[in-house]
Structure 1
Amino acid sequence: MRKLTQILKFKRLYSSESFTNSFRILAEESLVSWLDDSSKQPKIDYLIVDVREPADYTTAHIKTAINIPSTVMLGNNAPSFFGSLLAQQLLHPINNEFRIPKNLVFHCQLSLIRGPNSAARLIQLLDEEKRRRQRTAPDSVKELEPTDIYVLDGGFKGWSKAFAGIRPELIEGIGKK
């Protein structure tokens, strides 16, 4: 019953139409297929953003994931936020322009609060930045348009439970949970 309550709360929080875009839930199997597909390049075709604290990330994380803690993701300053995205390689250069990867996947430990909040915050910041650029530099708006923004179903805990024993190469870090 507790899990059902969490799911209902999650749906109520993130089904808002306050964003022009929204994120979707990504099944673990879909992410595995991206990781296994040699034609897809991490940080270009997709980017996995682990929003847990750095100590948790260092201990164990999903293969190719980068760490941007939720405290950074949920900050209020959009210009410094995008600067930190550049520094963390969330934006990548193509023909001397910065573009967001085609698919962004956010997760925290359970993907119930920090992961969804971070995905929703990114959508909000992208919308704000698009509006700003439409006024000042309309040609640069396209670089802010990823194909899809996802939250990983089950978070790192679900991922670890599903793959630690059968596909340990999908988990990196010093402690590999």
Structure 2
Amino acid sequence: MTFTITDLSYIQPAKLKAWITKVNSSPQFLVVDVRDSDFIGGHIKGCLHIPSADIGYESTNILTRMFKHDITTVIFHCALSQQRGPSSAMKFLRYLNEVLEDATADPKEKAFVNKINVSVLRGGFVKWQELYGKDTSVTEGYEQSLWE
């Protein structure tokens, strides 16, 4: 299967915040922050930081972590979620497709991969910090002076 940018779904910051603050009633999810040197100044609580250039190499590690913790939703974002976030999500979708097409892949892994939802955070961390930067229940390491 060939994936295009139109195959990507987006999640609103408010929905992600609700998932983070209501862990017991939310779907199992993993936030992957693909910002590079602009990772400084704060990040979404509990995110996995993988610079965008490393996503292809790290896809196996993301999937392994998801499988180990029964996480079925992965949300990518960068600063604005206009370039690196969507591009990284596309790389990951293509990786998942390779797993599904691999005749030697473990059937349990294939079944798991088939359930994974891939999304991009609408507005990226710029929007997130505008809304929730000072909220320590959902944001870590926030440095307001860097965002003014």
TM-score (norm 2): 0.81
Partner of residue 18, structure 1 = none
1:58 deviation in Å?
4.7
1:60 Cα deviation after fit: 0.8
- Residue of structure 2 equivalent to 1:65: 47
Q: Distance in 2 between matches of 1:82 and 1:170?
A: 25
Query: 1:24 and 1:174, CA in 2 relative to 1: closer, same or farther beyond 3 A?
Result: closer
Q: 1:30 corresponds to which residue? A: 15
Unaligned runs of 5+ in 2: none
Identify which of 5, 23, 30 aligns with 1:14: 5
Out of 70, 75, 78, the residue aligned to residue 108 of structure 1 is 78
Query: CA 1:121/1:81 → structure 2, altered by over 3 Å: closer, same or farther?
Result: same
CA distance in 1 between counterparts of 2:52 and 2:17 reads 23
Please say if 1:50 is aligned against 2:33.
Answer: yes
Query: Following superposition, which runs of at least 4 residues in structure 1 exceed 6 angstroms of deviation?
Result: none
Partner of residue 136 from structure 1, selected from 75, 100, 104: 104
Q: How far apart are residue 66 of structure 1 and its match?
A: 1.0
Aligned residue for 2:79, secondary structure, equals coil
Other structure's SS at 2:10 match: strand
| Aligned mate of 1:156, from 125, 135, 140 | 125
For the 8 Å contact 1:50–1:68, the answer to whether it is kept is: yes
> How does 1:88-103 map onto structure 2 within 5 Å?
90-93=65-68, 101-103=71-73
- Unpaired runs of at least 5, structure 1: 1-12, 16-21
Q: Hey, what's the Cα distance between the residues in 2 that align with 1:82 and 1:108?
A: 16
* Aligned residues between the structures: 141
Bigger mean CA deviation after superposition, 101-110 or 137-146: 137-146
1:85 aligns with 2:62: yes
CA distance 1:81–1:66, change in 2 (3 Å) = closer
CA separation of 1:143/1:164 partners in 2, compared to 1, >3 Å: closer, same or farther?
Answer: same
Q: Which has the larger radius of gyration?
A: 1
The normalised TM-score by structure 1 is 0.69
Measure the CA separation in 1 of the matches of 2:79 and 2:114. Answer: 27
8 Å CA contact 1:47–1:90 kept in 2: the answer is no
Counterpart residue identity of residue 27, structure 1 = Q
User: Which residue number corresponds to residue 10 of structure 1?
Assistant: none
